[in-house]
């Protein structure tokens, strides 16, 4: 399952990436390009724009009414029966599956590589470092994944 989010849904896009779902997002993009990219790449368009979904030829989309990011996330998860962890269907025990900023899959790097770039206590207490080779952001097992997992379990609560 792959998505493309309209320009009003940046926060939702970041959460879907953290869940492991390939989600394109551009803060500025023409409607026509948005729709064409969705079609060409087999992505489901997530949008709040009622006019956009009337575009000719657009088949796979979800129109979201909700204002709140987590309400939107809940609707997306329930509509498509998404399982945390992307296609694998399991909530990963370690870092998020995709970079929340640029949708790239981070690669594992040795702790030594992360050392100059992360807070000292993180270097000392964490392992499983990964780095997004596109934007350079580091991910690790620790407080951040912990926080988002907590938030996520709140979202997934029936
Ligand atoms: Zn990145």
Domain-located, residue 154: no
Q: How far away, in angstroms, is 89 Cα from ligand 1 center?
A: 22
**51 in a structural domain:** yes
Residues 79, 58, 104: CA angle, nearest 5 degrees: 65
What's the 129 CA to ligand 1 centre distance in angstroms?
Answer: 14
Q: Are 76 and 36 in contact (CB under 8 A)?
A: no
Ligand 1 centroid–CA 67 distance in Å is: 26
Q: Does residue 46 sit within a domain? A: yes
The pTM of this model reads 0.80
Asked if residue 100 belongs to a domain, the reply is no
How far away, in angstroms, is 105 Cα from ligand 1 center?
8
Distance 97 CA to ligand 1 centre (A): 11
Total number of domains in the chain: 1
Q: Can you give the CATH number for the domain in which 22 is found?
A: 3.40.50
pLDDT tens figures, 12-55: 999 998 888 899 999 999 999 999 999 999 999 999 999 999 98
Residue 33, helix vs strand vs coil: helix
Query: Cα(145) to centroid of ligand 1, in Å?
Result: 16
Stretch 106-127: mean pLDDT, rounded? Answer: 88
What domain range is 73 assigned to? 3-88
Q: Is residue 58 part of a domain?
A: yes
Distance 134 CA to ligand 1 centre (A): 5
């Amino acid at each position: 399952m792959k998505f493309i989010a309209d320009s009003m849904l940046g926060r939702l896009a970041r959460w879907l990436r953290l869940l492991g779902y390939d989600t394109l997002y551009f803060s500025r993009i023409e409607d026509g390009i948005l729709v064409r990219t969705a079609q060409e790449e087999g992505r489901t368009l997530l949008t709040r724009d009622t006019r956009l979904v009337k575009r000719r030829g657009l088949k796979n989309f979800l129109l979201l009414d909700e204002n709140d990011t987590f309400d939107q996330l809940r609707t997306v998860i329930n509509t498509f029966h998404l399982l945390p962890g992307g296609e694998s269907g399991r909530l990963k025990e370690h870092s998020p599956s995709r970079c929340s900023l640029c949708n790239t899959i981070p690669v594992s790097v040795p702790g030594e590589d992360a050392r100059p770039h992360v807070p000292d206590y993180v270097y000392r207490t964490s392992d499983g470092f990964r780095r997004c080779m596109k934007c350079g952001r580091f991910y690790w097992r620790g407080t951040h994944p912990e926080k988002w997992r907590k938030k996520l379990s709140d979202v997934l609560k029936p």
